[in-house]
Amino acid sequence: MADARPPARGNRIGAEPGGKPCPSLPRGKDREGVPRRALAAGVAALAVAPRTAAGTDFARIDAALDEAVAAGTVPGLVALVARGETVHVHTAGVRSLETGAPMRRDTIFAVASIAKPLTAAAALLLVEDGVLGLDEPVDRFLPELANRRVIRSLTGPLDDTVPATRPLTLRDLLTMRMGLGAVFADPATSPLLRRMAELGVAPGPRLFQDGPDAFLRRLGSLPLVHQPGERWLYHTGLDVAGVLVARAAGMSLGAFQRRRLFEPLGMTDTGFFAPTGKAGRLATVYWRDRESGRLAVWNPASGAGFADPPAFEAGGGGHVSTVDDMLAFGRMLLDGGTYRGRRILSEASVAAMLTDAITPAQKAASPFFPGFWDTHGWGLGIGLVTAPDAISPTPGRFGWWGGFGTTFWCDPATDTVALLFTQRMMGGPDDAALGNDFLRLAFAA
């Protein structure tokens, strides 16, 4: 199955009918031959003047971040703002409260959902290769998800279903409209949600603990919540897309991403775990205890979660990375698929990623955080800003947040990549406040 290579097909990349591009998309700007400046790993901050890039006040950014660490909002952080050829990095606090090890520029973080576009990019590389099609059924590589059925009611019995109107496609997975994902309802009221939790496949901070085949078997035992392509449900589609990439490529997701994305982009610290020799650079993940208000260890830096190869390479949220690695990926997207003169993704693939795929009707029927859809959309594996918001009056940004406390957004209007990596788990919308304050300063024109 993994070795199958179908003949190439035409018209494989592009927006589905009616898809509208996100405003201010990159227009394939060619910066070939222009080097990106970066200092050696471990340097705390670049020596730059407080204001050096179109009004960006780096001193104000640093002061605000230092204040957050001093107040105990987060144990530590690494921030990077790259505007044009100016790159500014700031570190503060510690990567481990237990050891007091200081944050460094090369600290490796569990980045959670900001790695969703990494999996989408890997899938689009296989589309460009002619191995996958965006709108073809995934059944050939994922037979566990063939002949789907859809539950009649979220509160009804698991066997009260109707047939799916069509097979699942790669586009369904990348746009998170596969019919399964995060449902904002009380699991006690739903046999389906309870069963998802029992099987370990409900979206959440705990990654799936078994292998990819077991993951697909368990998903395949469940009915869908909605018909394929009908509504947006967060997360699960990108985990499934990761399994699809691995099977279609004939190698693990991590191996394929390393060969086709990470090595060409120089993302030497990105993967699904920090191997021997790098585990000491991992930041410990914390969560805030609701009763005491104190930070408690969620996953120690030396624990099994990110220092050892996982059984399941979760394409939707299982990666580790650094700010410099994600800067390279963001620069590639801003440059229309090229990086340092090398073509990584086609311009058409990048444009497809950055096209809002969720219709107004689907947004209205797809609950997420209050007001989210007023200013946001979702492309192929990545979030889009579609209207002026509290961060900037200029739409067109793309990126996402990670549940372990990471922020990754790119702004074509100011040619800026902004990254804020912390290691405090998000527990609700308010936990994005620090990241959003950082973005307001980073994208100031």
- pLDDT tens for residues 181-202? 999 888 899 999 999 999 999 9
Say yes or no to pLDDT of 87 above 70.
yes
- The residue that leads in pLDDT, 29 or 177, is 177
The percent of residues above 70 in pLDDT, for the chain, comes to 85
* Domain ranges for the chain: 20-101+265-308+318-442, 122-249
Distance CA 163, CA 150 (A): 6
Cβ atoms of residues 396 and 412 within 8 Å: yes
How high is the mean pLDDT of the chain? 88
Does 20-101+265-308+318-442 match 122-249 in CATH topology? Answer: yes
Q: Mark residue 46 as left, alpha or beta (left: phi above 0; alpha: psi -120 to 50; beta: remaining).
A: beta
Give the residue-averaged pLDDT of 230-253: 98
Say yes or no to pLDDT of 28 above 70.
no
Give the residue-averaged pLDDT of 143-156: 97
pLDDT for 325 equals: 98
Tokens representing 38 are: 């970066």
Say yes or no to pLDDT of 19 above 70.
no
For the four alpha carbons of 143, 146, 151 and 157, in that order, the dihedral sign comes to negative
Say yes or no to pLDDT of 16 above 70.
no
Which band of pLDDT confidence, cut at 50, 70 and 90, is reported for residue 39? very low
- pLDDT tens for residues 266-305? 999 999 999 989 999 999 999 988 888 889 999 866 555 6
Give the residue-averaged pLDDT of 68-89: 95
Say yes or no to pLDDT of 41 above 60.
no
pLDDT for 373 equals: 97
- pLDDT tens for residues 353-404? 999 999 999 999 999 988 999 999 999 999 999 999 999 999 999 999 999 9
Which band of pLDDT confidence, cut at 50, 70 and 90, is reported for residue 31? very low
pLDDT for 55 equals: 53
The percent of residues above 90 in pLDDT, for the chain, comes to 77
Give the residue-averaged pLDDT of 235-244: 98
Give the residue-averaged pLDDT of 159-164: 98
Q: 20-101+265-308+318-442, which class in CATH?
A: alpha beta
Q: The pTM is what?
A: 0.89
- pLDDT tens for residues 318-351? 999 999 999 999 999 999 999 999 999 999 999 9
pLDDT for 440 equals: 95
pLDDT for 15 equals: 54
pLDDT for 6 equals: 36
Q: 122-249, which class in CATH?
A: alpha beta
- In this structure, of 116-125, 151-160, 431-440, the range with the lowest mean pLDDT score is 431-440
Give the residue-averaged pLDDT of 413-437: 90
